[in-house]
Amino acid sequence: MSTAETAALIESVNELTNTVAGKVQEIDAKVDEATNVTPVTIKNWMHRIYYVNAETGSDDNDGQTIATAKKTIAGAVSDSSSGSFIYVRLLGAKIYDLASVVDLTNRTVYVSSYGATWGDASTRSTIRGALRSADYYWSGQFKLGWNGRIHFEQVNFETVTFSESKASYDDYRCSLISGSSSSGQVWFYGCSANLNNGPLVHQHSGGSFGMLDIYLNNVSLTKNDNLLIADGNPVLVGDYGNAPLPFTLFANSVALPTDETWSSMVTCNISQIISNVSFE
C-alpha cells in the first residue's frame, strides 16, 4: 500500500470515527432527554385529578378538565393504575348513583364536592347507593380491597333504598363501603349520611375475610324512618359474620341519629376494636 493510499485510509477511518462519535452523542442526548421526561410523565400519571359530572359528563372523556369530565366515579377510578393517588372532584350539587362495584385496591382516592361551601350540605354532591341486581338485594359499593384508602370531604351519602322485596338480604351486599376481601381505611370529613336500607360501611369476618379502619370528623348521621321496604340494617357499621376483628373507629364531632347510640349504630363484633368512643 502506497503512502497516499495509507493516508486516504487513515482519513476515512477518522471520518467514520467522528461520525460514530457524533451519533453516540446524539443517542446520549436523546437518552438523557427521555430519562428526564419519563419520571415526570409517570408522576403525572400516578397523581391525577378527575372531574366527574353526573349530568353532562361521559366516561369516554379523559376527565382531566371540567369540560371533559367523566360521568361516574367508577369511570374515573377504573382509568387509574394500581398504586396511584386519585383526586375525584364531583361537580355540582348533583346525585351520583353508585350502581356497580368500584374497586380501590392499592389506590388512594380523595373524593370531594368541587365548589361546595363548608357546612352547607345543600351545596355538596351526594353519593347514593343503587341496586345492581334484579334477583336479590345488592347495591353498588366502594370496595377497598388490599391496601385501599378513600377520603371523602364535603360529600353527602345515601345508602340504598329498597322499592320492592327481594330475597337474601346481607349487610355485605348492601353497605355503601364494603369491607369484603379488604384491608384499608375510609375517612369522612365534613360529611353527612342518611341511612336507608343498608349500612354505611361493614366489617366482613365470614367467608371473604376483610375489614376497614374508619375515621369520622365533623359528620352528621340520620336514619330514614319512612322506608318503602322494611328489610335492611341502617347502621353506621354493619357486619357479615361475628368473629372479632381488630379494627379502628375514631370519631370527632359526630352527630348520631336521634335516639341512637354508638352501640346501636355499630352492629359488628367490637371485642377487638380500638376506638375513642364509648359503647356502654
Name the residue among 56, 44, 43 with its Cα closest to residue 90.
56
Q: Domain containing 228 — which CATH number?
A: 2.160.20
Q: What does the pLDDT read at residue 24?
A: 52
The answer to the question of residue 5 being in a domain is: no
Q: 189-203 burial string, b = 16+ CB within 10 Å, else e? A: bbbbbbbbbbbbbbb
Q: What does the pLDDT read at residue 76?
A: 95
The answer to the question of residue 14 being in a domain is: no
The answer to the question of residue 4 being in a domain is: no
Domain that holds residue 85: 47-275
The answer to the question of residue 160 being in a domain is: yes
The answer to the question of residue 11 being in a domain is: no
269: helix, strand or coil: coil
The answer to the question of residue 137 being in a domain is: yes
Q: What does the pLDDT read at residue 280?
A: 76
253 membership: H or E segment, kind and range: strand 248-255
13: helix, strand or coil: helix
The answer to the question of residue 58 being in a domain is: yes
Residue stretches of the chain with pLDDT short of 50: 9, 13, 20, 37-38, 42
Residue located via cell numbers 349530568: 55
Q: What does the pLDDT read at residue 30?
A: 61
State the total domains in the chain.
1
The answer to the question of residue 127 being in a domain is: yes
